[in-house]
Amino acid sequence: MAASSKGLEGVVASQTSLSFIDGQAGILGYRGYNIHDLAPNASFLESVFLLWNGRLPTRSELASFEEELALQRGLEAGTLEGLQRIPQDAVPMAALRTGVSLEGMFDRDGEDNSAEANLRKAKRLVARTPTIIAATQRIRQGLEPLDPDPSLSIAADFVRMANGEPGTDEAAAALDRTLLLYLDHGFNASTFACRVIAATLGDMHSAVTGGVGALKGSLHGGANAKAMETILEVGEVENVGPWLEAAFAQKRKIMGFGHRVYRTEDPRATHLREMSQQLTEQAGEGKLFEISRELEKQVMAQKGINPNVDFYCATVYYALGVPIDLYTPLFAMGRMGGWTAHIMEQHADNRLIRPRAEYVGEKDLTWVSIDDR
């Protein structure tokens, strides 16, 4: 048997036609469209349509897709009741994990893995993930969750439901773009977790519940919140050097830096850096961008490591006034479109995912009865 690869590094586990990554050249494409073309031109839901259907929607197709999803934003009554009973200090990613699982409990297509049922569930999941996150945000403040307003875009309605009042068009557009950038990324850990569950013929809600669990970790989606904590802890541009010196001495990972696949700039970071500069400046938080730039410069100079998608997204969300522990749920809001696409792709041409383990333990030991140990 071939030797194992720790962390499955470099292993090509299966095929996908959803997103393409060239880690050497720094290229990311959804269904053949470069992220550099999609980010400034497409909306999040336009990209979800592209991912699910393999082609860009026409204007009228996009309008009806948006409308169909907007009308499905309302949560099941049982989900809302369940969220009300979650401890007020619950981590929002844990609440989201429970929320999507509860939605599965009440979904009329819950156990149906047909392509038609999967698409219906995917639409509900993408439409309702923002509602779950916003409801959690309200409930933990002791406030009543707000009903969705289908006349608003998915991003604008999230801002309204989470904050209790509408935000600016600019804030909704910026949030929408981060969702697009987070939408899909090959066999990342959470997507792979979804596919492993789907490949057992597990249902879509079970699979995305696993995906939320995998994304929660700080080496994956949790990194955007940790990156913000780092930037705030550093506090001043002149602290970057000593802060990094101490971190490297303690062999601490710098959150928001490094990537398993990219050996050059993460193309998503290119867009988020630009957004971060603009939005932090507008919010009177330009210093946070300067600290970020200095961290980037010095980590690159000392370790040759680039920032990843999560690093500049942190200050984008900070400038938009998002509470830090909602950064990873927002990542999930975007990635839900990708997870559901991968589950549909897996179910459409399934084979159980079941790798072997390289056994490195002892063998052929002599049994010792319990009285003689």
Ligand X SMILES: CC(C)(COP(=O)(O)OP(=O)(O)OC[C@H]1O[C@@H](n2cnc3c(N)ncnc32)[C@H](O)[C@@H]1OP(=O)(O)O)[C@@H](O)C(=O)NCCC(=O)NCCS
CA nearest neighbour of 208 among 191, 224, 220: 191
Structure tokens at 21: 């990554």
**CA pair distance 221, 214, nearest whole angstrom:** 8
Element of type H or E holding 123:
helix 115-139
> Least distance (Å) from ligand X to the CB of residue 315?
14
Decide: 204 and 38 in contact? Cβ < 8 Å. no
**CA pair distance 222, 176, nearest whole angstrom:** 19
User: 221 vs 218, 270, 367, CA distance in Å?
Assistant: 6, 18, 45
> Least distance (Å) from ligand X to the CB of residue 19?
14
Q: Which is nearer to ligand X, 30 or 257 (CB)?
A: 257
**CA pair distance 50, 144, nearest whole angstrom:** 35
Q: Which is nearer to ligand X, 4 or 350 (CB)?
A: 4
> Least distance (Å) from ligand X to the CB of residue 221?
7
Any idea which residues carry the catalytic annotation?
A: 220, 259, 310
> Least distance (Å) from ligand X to the CB of residue 222?
8
**CA pair distance 92, 219, nearest whole angstrom:** 17
Q: Which is nearer to ligand X, 137 or 188 (CB)?
A: 188
Mark 155-180 as b/e (b = at least 16 C-beta within 10 Å).
bbbbbbbbbeeebeeebbebbbbbbb
Q: Which is nearer to ligand X, 79 or 308 (CB)?
A: 308
Q: Which is nearer to ligand X, 55 or 253 (CB)?
A: 253
**CA pair distance 142, 13, nearest whole angstrom:** 45
Structure tokens at 66: 């948006």
Q: Which is nearer to ligand X, 291 or 309 (CB)?
A: 309
Number of helices (H), then strands (E), belonging to the chain: the values are 16, 3
> Least distance (Å) from ligand X to the CB of residue 274?
18
CA nearest neighbour of 335 among 86, 122, 57, 80: 122
How many other C-beta atoms are found inside a 10 Å radius of the C-beta of residue 317? 25
> Least distance (Å) from ligand X to the CB of residue 90?
23
What is the residue whose two structure tokens read 């690869």?
A: 5
> Least distance (Å) from ligand X to the CB of residue 152?
30
Closest-approach residue to ligand X (CB): 258
User: 157 vs 81, 146, 148, 149, 176, CA distance in Å?
Assistant: 21, 10, 7, 6, 11
**CA pair distance 237, 249, nearest whole angstrom:** 20
Q: Which is nearer to ligand X, 79 or 306 (CB)?
A: 306
Binding site for ligand X (CB under 6 A): 7, 219-220, 223, 253-260, 303, 305, 308-310
CA nearest neighbour of 99 among 78, 72, 113: 78
